[in-house]
Amino acid sequence: MTPTSPSRRDLLKGAAAVAVATSVGVASPVTSGRAHAQGSAPLSRARIDGVLKQAVDAREVPGVVAMAATPRGLLYEGAFGVRALDQTPPMTLDTVFRVASMTKAITSVAAMQLVEQGKVKLEEPVPNIDPALGSPQVLDGFDASGVPKLRPAKRPITLRHLLTHTAGFSYEIWDANMVRYVKASGMPSTATGKVAAIRMPLVFDPGDKWEYGVNTDWVGRLVEEMSGQPLDVYFRERIFGPLRMRDSGYRTSDEQRSRQARVHQRQPDGTLVPQPLEAAFTPEFWSGGGPLYSTARDYLTFLQMLLHGGSFNGARILRPETVALMNKNHTGDIPAGIMKTESPARSNDVDLFPGAQIRWGLGYMLNMQPGPNGRSAGTVSWGGIFNTYYWIDPAKRVTGLIMTQILPFADQRVLKLYGQLESAVYETLKSV
């Protein structure tokens, strides 16, 4: 499932396809942004166009939006295909996506703002806003009759534990014991949007291991408690508003919903089936871990803020030293990033860089070695369950993202496209 590098032949085929489409007026890109400000060469832009268009033409994805930027400005933006296979509206640069776990980076930035203000500390026990945080219990197996066995955690949970997914919290989707616990205890599933759904026991003691889980949901609850604001209001006033991210939030307007892409479910034969738009839903709490809506342009703005050391669009969101701290390895020798699915319809097994050293920063995955498609050691990245992905490469000073709406997570075709996009972006960097 590693994002794979495109061959030279693939890139040339893609570029040729764009040239043919332009000359005959068919199958041309719906929208393709041109990075005039950086003067990137037309052939370099065509390389990226061709990679994306080829995937749409092969029906590997219904539609896709991709963007990249450097400190000089926009490097590339393009949109191809349609928002839903059973409808005609095209994918556009302002298409609205469910970015799911790409919410986590935003929540992590919010938490680090509070660290800067001295309202919470990384290394101290988190404020006791809930027994799940203040008096955590560890799931220590099940007895002969299937009743869960719990014991007190050996040490308190810190904000660093939560931001790095080393607190011991899990997700049912990737943890068989938590699936069993939810069934045995009768606690609500995380899909219900209830606070009780994240009041789960830990699956190991804080700091012992890495496991992806509801950690960032608790970070969001801490942000609310420490700031005195609901999370949606905090995001709007402290991050989205200053950065002019006008299409990002927990709710969509009717106009934004009219621009929303539909989720498609990958079938065993590889085909894609469009799903209905999700019903409007107001949960008990706004999750710091998942349900934001955004556009590629908005999210790229957020990434550019991080690439610029915490400031963008005239707004200072974080100090440069805080961003640098977030990008460091905060899990030490503890390996990270590998998840085994318990729900194949929602996620494949996840191992984005097999065999590579993967760790976690304060909010996202960290490559300890150069990646196969151009990223440097020290690159941070992550994605969302509907196969949206981003990366920030501080060494080569570039950031990029790719947006689709496909289940299950870690879709092999999308990961291949992600890798091809990344490779083409780094090739383009050589010409600017």
Active site residues per annotation: 101, 104, 212
Give the Å distances, CA to CA, from 63 to 50, 133, 299. 13, 41, 18
Give the Å distances, CA to CA, from 317 to 112, 117, 160, 273, 323. 10, 12, 20, 40, 10
Tell me which H or E stretch contains 298. helix 296-307
Nearest of 414, 425, 423, 419 to residue 58 by alpha carbon: 414
Give the Å distances, CA to CA, from 226 to 10, 107, 114, 199, 385. 51, 13, 8, 19, 29
Distance CA 232, CA 216 (A): 15
Terminal C-alpha separation, the chain: 31
Backbone angles phi, psi at 327, to 5 degrees: -85, 0
Q: How many CB atoms lie within 10 A of CB 139?
A: 22
**For 204-232, b where at least 16 C-beta lie within 10 A, e where not — what string?**
bbbbbebbbbbbbbbbbbbbbbbbebebe
Give the Å distances, CA to CA, from 119 to 106, 222, 327, 351, 407. 18, 10, 21, 36, 38
Query: Which residues make Cβ contacts (< 8 Å) with residue 116, sequence separation at least 6?
Result: 318, 319, 322
Which residue in the block uniquely carries the two structure tokens 């990344």?
422
Distance CA 29, CA 148 (A): 55
352's tokens: 């984005």
Cβ proximity of 189 and 197 under 8 Å: yes
Cβ proximity of 62 and 272 under 8 Å: yes
Nearest of 234, 221, 212, 256 to residue 350 by alpha carbon: 212
Q: Where are the beta strands (DSSP E) in 372-432?
A: 380-384, 388-393, 398-403, 406-407
Sign of the CA dihedral running 262, 198, 390, 36: positive
